[in-house]
Amino acid sequence: MVKQTFGAAASVLLLSAVTAWAAVVPFTDGDMEAPGREAWTTYGTPVSIEKVERPHSGRWALQVKTDNKDTMGGGFEGVSRYLGELNVGDRLRVSFWLRPLAGHAVGVGMGRTSFEQMWHFFDT
């Protein structure tokens, strides 16, 4: 099982065109073009999560606004996605575009659970 997590501390995150391949199979709403945000799981207490018309490509992006530095023990709140079961030796490529609010950082993590992740941080 692999979970892709997008989180932020006091920032705005726009995601567009997120794709994962174990065998070149994109996952549901990876391009953000499906209506609504049901494919994405919320964690923490973000101010808002909505589809907006500011994509990198296509029509929609997923905008996540956060402001709670005390959430999740490290200031993280946002959205996550379950990417399915993987076996030893499977390869997974995840690509995405993000646009953090000026002066704020966005963390992207991948791992078996929310607590077993490799985190990478992006800022402006």
Domain ranges, ordered by start, for the chain: 3-109
Residues 6+ apart with CB under 8 A from 93: 19, 20, 21
2-40 confidence digits (pLDDT tens): 444 444 444 444 454 454 544 556 677 777 788 888 888
Cβ proximity of 98 and 13 under 8 Å: yes
70-80 confidence digits (pLDDT tens): 554 455 678 88
Q: pTM of this prediction? A: 0.61
Helix (H, G, I), strand (E, B) or coil at 107: strand
Beta strands across the sheet bearing 77-82: 41-43, 77-82, 3-8, 105-111, 117-123
Cβ proximity of 60 and 32 under 8 Å: yes
